[in-house]
Structure 1
Amino acid sequence: MSKQSRILCSALQHLVMSAEEAAAMIPAGANVGMSGFTGAGYPKAVPGALAERIRAHNTAGGQPFRINVLTGASTAPELDGKLAEVDGIEMRLPFQSDPICRARINEGTMNYADYHLSEVAQYAWAGFFGKMDIAIIEVVGIREDGSLIPSSSVGNNKTWIEQADKVILEVNHTQSLRMEGMHDIYYGTALPPNRKPIQLTEPDQRVGELYLRCPIEKVIAIVETNAPDRNSPFKEPDDASRRIAEHILKFFDSEVAKGRLPENLLPLQSGVGNIPNAVLEALDSGDYKNLTAYTEVIQDGMLKMLKSGTLRMASATAFSLSPDGIAEFDKDIEFYRERIILRPQEISNHPEIARRLGVIATNAMIEADIYGNVNSTHIMGTRMMNGIGGSGDFARNGYLSIFMSPSTAKDGKISTIVPMVSHVDHTEHDVKVIVTEQGLADLRGLSPRQRAKAIIENCAHPDFKPMLLDYFERACASGRGMHTPHLLQEALSWHEQFEQTGTMRRE
């Protein structure tokens, strides 16, 4: 198939140019909305060319050249890494996972705004981010009427195209044209007071269009690329991940037996990472069939579940596949196209739909405290890891919100169950279940002191359990208040000790 056949709109064919020529159209200080969500569907060429332009400009001296970068979620080294390396990002939002970005954020040389992913499109429309100057969007192809065949992620692409004054398109020939028909682009959202209910009542229901609308007059450049998505390969689940998965499946079995979950559960939302993949693997090896997923990303484990019949269908906004997962998807796209729907993230993460469908949310955490508050983002309270992502969208609005982590980190020097979290992303009101390899604590219907006993008993590592019990008992005896007992002078002392000595252990 010739490259020209990917650009069928005759009015746009004359705009094909190099990445360097396209990057030259992006001015310093611009607000740039880029495609991309968890290493899928991000522009592969223009960001790198722009980074080289910024490097040359800054080397020559003068006013620093920076832009503001808005995406769907995290991207990849070709985008975040290259722009961060040349100090080319003034503001980054709403999520990142790049080590160079992270370093710049934590050293204070890059501004970063961490948002619930469902809210980003709304905030853009409300003008909170300022005027959108340029959108850089990867697509699979351009149709005769100028509409766009979306790539391996949808994210905020609809909003960036609508909001931007100008659009640069990357047509990626590595992304298969056979993905056409997999997407569902909903154009019915609005700001208050003009909102209407989203008529999506089943995970496999389609409510939108197959293509992205893009006014031809907005397009200023088209760059043809031939590069794959880049996601890190998933590690084989370790013993702790498998034990966490076993606890969750046992919990599901119990909930089904009690009539609180149907036999095919409820739509699954799974965060990204090795522990969520271990849960998917455990589900696939069990007796559950005809499951559905209403989530953000399609991971390797979901492809396997679709093939085995454990999972009937999956709705998401992007793929997050290892190289092996990409190869499997490419090999059998026709099979997956009938069972996967990719939507804008304002729909995949929409609170209205998560509440209506009764999503079961499973997400990783950095730490939880004895009362059920969860920190998903900050190491020792101050250093950003990645961001809250979509976990809050589902935790507050789903039927079940489950947070998971090994009970220790840093070779046992850190307890992930602490007296008080050093940063709060999910309050005790939104956290229903906490799981470590030690066990599972079902917090529903419990008072704060009852939650503390359940978390310490079931989730804490044996090396830290006596310390947590000692803290809790002394807090209860302090007379400072028995609803949520704390010793304020000690509540964060575990983190302080780690900062000073490199361990939370007290020998």
Structure 2
Amino acid sequence: MQSWQPQTSRLYQTGATLDKTPGRNRPEIAREQQVEQRIHHAGLAGKIMSAEEAATHIQPGMTVGMSGFTGSGYPKAVPLALAGRIEAAQGRGEKFALRVLTGASTAPELDGALAKAGGIDFRLPYQSDPELRARINRGEIDYMDVHLGQVAQYTWFGFLGKIDLAVVEVAGILPDGRLIPSTSIGNNKTWLDLADKVILEVNSTQPLGLDGMHDIYYGTALPPNRQPIPLTQAGDHIGEPYLRVDPAKVVAVVKTHAPDRLGRFTPPDETSQRIAGHLVEFLKHEIRMGRLPENLLPLQSGVGNIANAVLGGLRDGGFSNLTAFTEVIQDGMLDLIRTDTIRMASATALSLSPEGVQEFARNIDHYRERIVLRPQEISNHAELVRRLGCIGINGMVEADLYGNVNSTHVAGTSIINGIGGSGDFARNGFLSCFVTPSTAKNGAISCIVPMVSHVDHTEHDVCIIVTEQGLADLRGLSPKQRARTVIANCAHPDYRPLLQDYFDRACRDSKGKHTPHLLGEALSWHERLVEQGSMRPN
């Protein structure tokens, strides 16, 4: 793989200058000029219009691909304008709903606004908005929870139907019409390639220093024409820094000046720190045993406070020269990149707190040399995860005695967010680790149960389970050996005797002795939760 140096476009090199005409330096005029100076294609500059005008291109029943991944890089203006249009139409008694496809979760201005307006019929592949989640769980919206690495492939195969229109946020438009991607790429390449029409939002709050941080690979193909993807190191550049779009398909360009809607991460609590400590000690043990190199293997980390705690534990544990091949870079990973604990990180999106955004913008030249943002069909590609030997670290809702993991549902029926990319890394990575506190809801719920109420990751794909109680290494164990290990190391003391009692009786009374279960009792813990609000027996 040849060494690649970031090449910044003329747009970034020249920067932006404000109009010095007296009386025209009001903040809104300055912002407008900043956006206009990011649009260097004459034909596309002629398609600038308001979000309300752009939204008229979206018609009822359309399948719309929108940018956005974990609250970053999503369109800010057109979805809000569209929601207003939908509400007006439904006020007149007209049905107006869409099939909405994204990279992952977005933000209230997109998922929340459209869901509240009743404007979504179908949604994939991941979500986290409370309004959208509630409507999905009430059966008002069809939701397809799918591995993030498979969305582009499903779309190219035609499983999701025709993509009528794409709405994509970008940081700028080059003179030749290529697009500087924003803070996430997700499925944007696929939407731009396949959509009949395209609306671009050019957001001037996204730093132009992003230019050169992206790597868009256009070499994927459908079977039987596939070739190996030429990526052998997390930091390899195998594509180009910009997204392509046919200017003739672009029907509107909308100027925006709005930040990504990102939450703050709370400092790791004692439980998270204990989980992190168990996992860090395990990784050190694997190094001593010769199963991992001193700088580990490329890390994949899910989103959340426990993931941040684990990353902080790696820094405090003296690890260095690390790499990451993951989906999302959040504050914990950014801090490791800032201190060069991680020397190179590949992802498809940034998901930073407001403080993290400020740090990223202040030192963007440092980060541009150490971060590569890719389409999620590459960041989550099974071929690459297997080749690189990634260490996957993801959260879960619950695990059962035999190592099956539920990462998406409460009591088997109510979706929380979705499987995201955890399955891409659990199935294909070198080491799949799942982490959770041993209990939830002040002890009313045990996160270690006899049988999970919904299976996202089977026992065949789960290597390590970690709670604040300890770590269970399930590699090389039979089902009953796994059960004993999980009970002894991961269960909360309040629930450990109950789990041991269930397992002992299952070993005695189950018809099959390979994976013993009492079928009439296996989900009774969840039944108690639904009926009484607690898994504890009366």
Report the TM range for the smaller structure's normalisation.
over 0.9
Partner residue in 2 for 1:26? 58
What are the Cα deviations for residues 206-247 of structure 1, in whole angstroms up to 9, with x where unaligned? 101110010110100000000001111111111110000000
What are the Cα deviations for residues 419-451 of structure 1, in whole angstroms up to 9, with x where unaligned? 000000000000000000000000000000000
Letter in 2 for 1:18: S
1:147 and 2:178 aligned: yes
Partner residue in 1 for 2:73? 41
* Partner SS, residue 6 of structure 1: coil
Q: Which runs of 5+ in 2 are unaligned?
A: 1-15, 17-32
User: Aligned runs of 1:417-456 on 2, under 5 Å?
Assistant: 417-456=448-487
- Structure 1 runs of 4+ off > 4 angstroms? none
* Partner SS, residue 250 of structure 1: helix
Q: Aligned partners of 1:491, 1:4: CA distance in 2, in Å?
A: 61
What are the Cα deviations for residues 122-144 of structure 1, in whole angstroms up to 9, with x where unaligned? 00001111110000000000001
* Partner SS, residue 136 of structure 1: strand
Partner residue in 2 for 1:203? 234
Q: Aligned partners of 1:269, 1:123: CA distance in 2, in Å?
A: 23
1:485 and 2:516 aligned: yes
Partner residue in 1 for 2:413? 382
1:465 and 2:496 aligned: yes
- The answer as to whether partners of 2:445 and 2:534 remain within 8 angstroms in 1 is yes
Q: Aligned partners of 1:13, 1:467: CA distance in 2, in Å?
A: 67
Residue range with higher mean Cα deviation, 497-506 or 50-59: 497-506
What are the Cα deviations for residues 160-195 of structure 1, in whole angstroms up to 9, with x where unaligned? 000100000000000011110000000011111111
Letter in 1 for 2:440: A
User: Aligned runs of 1:223-234 on 2, under 5 Å?
Assistant: 223-234=254-265
- The answer as to whether partners of 1:154 and 1:344 remain within 8 angstroms in 2 is yes
Structure 1 counterpart of 2:285, from 254, 273, 277: 254
Structure 1 counterpart of 2:378, from 347, 353, 363: 347
Structure 2 counterpart of 1:395, from 412, 417, 426: 426
Query: 1:500 Cα shift?
Result: 1.1
Partner residue in 1 for 2:215? 184
Query: 1:4 Cα shift?
Result: 2.1
Residue range with higher mean Cα deviation, 277-286 or 287-296: 277-286
* Partner SS, residue 46 of structure 2: helix
Letter in 1 for 2:50: S
- The answer as to whether partners of 2:215 and 2:242 remain within 8 angstroms in 1 is yes
Q: Aligned partners of 1:50, 1:82: CA distance in 2, in Å?
A: 9
Give the TM-score normalised by the residue count of structure 2: 0.94
* Partner SS, residue 11 of structure 1: helix
Structure 2 counterpart of 1:65, from 87, 93, 96: 96
Q: Aligned partners of 1:285, 1:479: CA distance in 2, in Å?
A: 46
Structure 2 counterpart of 1:283, from 307, 314, 337: 314
Q: Aligned partners of 2:36, 2:74: CA distance in 1, in Å?
A: 21
Q: Aligned partners of 2:91, 2:365: CA distance in 1, in Å?
A: 49
Q: Aligned partners of 2:145, 2:153: CA distance in 1, in Å?
A: 15
* Partner SS, residue 189 of structure 2: helix
Query: 1:113 Cα shift?
Result: 0.4
- The answer as to whether partners of 2:125 and 2:145 remain within 8 angstroms in 1 is yes
- The answer as to whether partners of 1:31 and 1:70 remain within 8 angstroms in 2 is yes
- The answer as to whether partners of 2:44 and 2:247 remain within 8 angstroms in 1 is yes
Partner residue in 2 for 1:362? 393
Identity %: 65
What are the Cα deviations for residues 259-311 of structure 1, in whole angstroms up to 9, with x where unaligned? 00000000000000111010011111121000000000011011110121211
- The answer as to whether partners of 1:284 and 1:308 remain within 8 angstroms in 2 is no
Partner residue in 1 for 2:20? none
- Residues 476, 133 of structure 1: CA spacing in aligned structure 2 closer, same or farther, 3 A cutoff? same
- The answer as to whether partners of 2:205 and 2:258 remain within 8 angstroms in 1 is yes
Q: Aligned partners of 1:499, 1:38: CA distance in 2, in Å?
A: 30
Partner residue in 1 for 2:151? 120
The CA RMSD over aligned residues, in Å, is: 0.6
* Partner SS, residue 84 of structure 1: helix
Partner residue in 1 for 2:272? 241
Letter in 2 for 1:258: M
Letter in 2 for 1:342: L
Structure 2 counterpart of 1:83, from 114, 124, 133: 114
Query: 1:479 Cα shift?
Result: 4.5
Letter in 1 for 2:54: A
Q: Aligned partners of 1:489, 1:479: CA distance in 2, in Å?
A: 11
Q: Which runs of 5+ in 1 are unaligned?
A: none
Query: 1:31 Cα shift?
Result: 0.4
Partner residue in 2 for 1:52? 84
1:314 and 2:336 aligned: no
Q: Aligned partners of 2:440, 2:209: CA distance in 1, in Å?
A: 43
* Partner SS, residue 42 of structure 2: coil
Letter in 1 for 2:420: G
Letter in 1 for 2:229: I
1:415 and 2:446 aligned: yes
Letter in 2 for 1:227: A
- The answer as to whether partners of 2:510 and 2:518 remain within 8 angstroms in 1 is no
Q: Aligned partners of 2:99, 2:510: CA distance in 1, in Å?
A: 50
What are the Cα deviations for residues 355-377 of structure 1, in whole angstroms up to 9, with x where unaligned? 00000000000000000000000
Q: Aligned partners of 1:482, 1:426: CA distance in 2, in Å?
A: 22
Q: Aligned partners of 2:340, 2:151: CA distance in 1, in Å?
A: 34
Residue range with higher mean Cα deviation, 280-289 or 182-191: 280-289
- The answer as to whether partners of 2:201 and 2:253 remain within 8 angstroms in 1 is yes
Give the TM-score normalised by the residue count of structure 1: 0.99
Q: Aligned partners of 1:249, 1:442: CA distance in 2, in Å?
A: 13
Partner residue in 1 for 2:201? 170
Partner residue in 1 for 2:49? 17
* Partner SS, residue 440 of structure 1: strand
Q: Aligned partners of 1:81, 1:501: CA distance in 2, in Å?
A: 31
1:92 and 2:123 aligned: yes
* Partner SS, residue 356 of structure 1: helix
Structure 2 counterpart of 1:136, from 167, 172, 197: 167
Q: Aligned partners of 1:131, 1:307: CA distance in 2, in Å?
A: 42
Q: Aligned partners of 1:73, 1:417: CA distance in 2, in Å?
A: 28
* Partner SS, residue 278 of structure 2: helix
Q: Aligned partners of 2:149, 2:529: CA distance in 1, in Å?
A: 35
